């Protein structure tokens, strides 16, 4: 895979300053976790660099892009179009930057809500986005997620989703169905691992 790192860095530098800084902080997390879990750092870095390329896009433009690109839009995404920034960025990564690696595309597409059967590349991009050091300061429960991420990616993601989903339920907010499926799949896998030991 010939990765367009230079082009992506140029695109990140054109994003709003704080968004670019978030991507850089997420990259530090990915660089820390990828070697621990023996995951390809180049693929993780590529996913992290691209994950928020569409984050500063307006809701109406995200909906327009999603329709133009024939991306599926569910009712939750229709109500909260910002959830489409991952799918739109994944489309750009594949069609404008020429990245064809399925794991990298998946990591960008699903970095916000997660997805069942995600690769370790995608899990690392998902966690790196959530574990930006400034987010940990704002949301103290993320310190435990970071500790778990060093040991086990799935346990860290379940801890993250348990906290976020509980908050969304308590506030009466919509929840993306794929986040629920993702959490349940990981939890079921963890329970079956315990039964087998």
pTM of the model: 0.95
Q: What is the pLDDT of residue 84?
A: 98
Give the chain's domains with CATH numbers: 5-196 (1.10.3210.10)
Number of Cα atoms under 13 Å in the Cβ half of residue 169: 9
Contact predicate 50/89, CB 8 Å: yes
Parts of the chain with a pLDDT under 50: none
On the 0-12 / 13-18 / 19+ scale of CB atoms within 10 A, 114 is buried
Give the whole-number percent of the chain exceeding pLDDT 90: 93
Q: What is the pLDDT of residue 194?
A: 63
pLDDT in tens, 6-52: 999 999 999 999 999 999 999 999 999 999 999 999 999 999 999 99
Q: What is the pLDDT of residue 192?
A: 77
């Amino acid at each position: 895979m010939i990765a367009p790192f230079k082009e992506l860095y140029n695109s990140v530098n054109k994003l709003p300053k704080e968004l670019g800084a978030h991507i850089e902080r997420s990259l530090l997390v990915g660089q820390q976790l990828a070697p621990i879990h023996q995951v390809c750092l180049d693929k993780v870095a590529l996913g992290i660099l691209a994950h928020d390329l569409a984050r500063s896009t307006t809701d109406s433009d995200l909906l327009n892009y999603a329709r133009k690109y024939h991306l599926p839009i569910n009712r939750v995404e229709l109500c909260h179009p910002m959830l489409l920034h991952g799918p739109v960025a994944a489309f750009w990564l594949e069609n404008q930057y020429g990245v064809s690696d399925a794991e990298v595309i998946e990591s960008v597409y699903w970095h916000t809500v997660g997805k069942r059967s995600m690769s370790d590349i995608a899990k690392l991009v998902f966690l790196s986005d959530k574990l930006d050091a400034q987010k940990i300061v704002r949301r103290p429960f993320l310190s435990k997620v970071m500790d778990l991420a060093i040991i086990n990616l799935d346990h860290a993601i379940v801890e993250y989703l348990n906290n976020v989903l509980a908050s969304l339920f308590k506030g009466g907010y919509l929840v993306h169905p794929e986040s629920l499926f993702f959490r349940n799949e990981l939890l079921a896998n963890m329970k079956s691992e315990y039964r087998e030991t």
